[in-house]
């Protein structure tokens, strides 16, 4: 029931242009989504599709170990920008962390957001493992198989658009971190329809044994 409710919210906000639905408990809904995601698993074919069908079996699992977090982060960032009424994410650039002085000196709230937006080397041109074009197939897979992930971001973020303040930016970024960490931990990209948790070193060991 909880999963169906979140999908309904997602469809409602998509079709109604953001017209508010009756209030729901977003915290309990997030917990329900985390539980739902954690109980599913990836087949070998799911892993291949998630990786964009560019590699197979063990190699796909290794790619997805890195790709899962990036795909979830990107969905969340897109929904955060949508809620704030800002432009979509641009292409990857060189990784650079702004200084506190730069952030405090922002001349507009939008500039403040751009400087505060969560950054990671794994979503930049500095990432040595994968390229930006590897990410869209994973996002498409999640939107098809786990539409509740995007819906829970949208439910928690709401729609702000006008008169955004720095305080609202800080709060929505905090929400992004909370949701992203929980969903990333739950997504079964380390599994093939059984619960086994492996480290990146163990995955590399698997790869060395089959190459």
90 in a structural domain: yes
Whether 143 shows a pLDDT value over 70: the answer reads yes
164 in a structural domain: yes
Q: How far separated are the first and last CA of the chain, in Å rounded?
A: 45
For residue 172, the surrounding DSSP H or E stretch is: helix 166-186
Smallest CA-to-CA distance from 85 within 103, 106, 110, 48 is with 110
Whether 17 shows a pLDDT value over 80: the answer reads no
183 in a structural domain: yes
**pLDDT band at residue 174 under the 50/70/90 scheme:** very high
**pLDDT band at residue 41 under the 50/70/90 scheme:** confident
pLDDT, residue 199, reads 54
Cα distance between residue 125 and residue 65, in whole Å: 19
**pLDDT band at residue 129 under the 50/70/90 scheme:** confident
Q: Using one digit for the tens of pLDDT, what is the confidence trace for 106-125? A: 999 999 999 999 998 989 99
Smallest CA-to-CA distance from 80 within 156, 193, 167 is with 156
Q: What are phi and psi of 164, to 5 degrees?
A: -70, 140
Residue-range definition of the domain harbouring residue 92? 27-203
pLDDT, residue 128, reads 86
60 in a structural domain: yes
What is the Cβ-side half-sphere exposure of residue 203, based on CA atoms within 13 angstroms?
19
136 in a structural domain: yes
pLDDT, residue 137, reads 96
What is the tally of structural domains in the chain? Answer: 1
pLDDT, residue 23, reads 39
Whether 146 shows a pLDDT value over 70: the answer reads yes
**Most confident stretch, 7-11, 58-62, 188-192:** 58-62
Cα distance between residue 3 and residue 11, in whole Å: 13
Whether 4 shows a pLDDT value over 60: the answer reads no
Cα distance between residue 46 and residue 38, in whole Å: 15
Name 148's Cβ contacts closer than 8 Å, sequence gap at least 6: 3, 6, 7, 10, 33, 36, 37
4 in a structural domain: no
Tokens 């949208």: give the residue. Answer: 154
130 in a structural domain: yes
Whether 20 shows a pLDDT value over 60: the answer reads no
22 in a structural domain: no
């Amino acid at each position: 029931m909880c999963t169906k409710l979140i999908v309904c919210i997602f469809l409602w906000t998509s079709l109604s242009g953001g017209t508010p639905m009756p209030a729901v408990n977003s915290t309990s809904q997030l917990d329900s989504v985390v539980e739902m995601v954690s109980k599913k698993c990836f087949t070998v074919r799911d892993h291949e599709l998630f990786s964009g069908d560019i590699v197979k079996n063990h190699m796909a699992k290794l790619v997805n170990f890195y790709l899962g977090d990036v795909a979830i982060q990107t969905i969340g960032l897109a929904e955060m920008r949508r809620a704030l009424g800002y432009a979509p994410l641009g292409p990857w650039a060189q990784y650079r962390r702004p200084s506190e002085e730069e952030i405090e000196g922002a001349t507009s709230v939008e500039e403040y957001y751009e400087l505060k937006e969560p950054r990671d080397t794994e979503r930049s041109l500095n990432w040595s493992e994968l390229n930006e074009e590897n990410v869209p197939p994973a996002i498409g897979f999640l939107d098809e198989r786990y539409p509740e992930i995007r819906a829970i971001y949208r439910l928690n973020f709401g729609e702000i658009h006008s008169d955004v303040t720095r305080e609202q930016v800080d709060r929505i970024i905090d929400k992004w971190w909370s949701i992203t960490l929980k969903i990333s931990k739950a997504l079964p990209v380390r599994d093939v329809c059984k619960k086994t948790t492996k480290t990146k070193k163990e995955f590399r060991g698997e790869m060395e044994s089959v190459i």
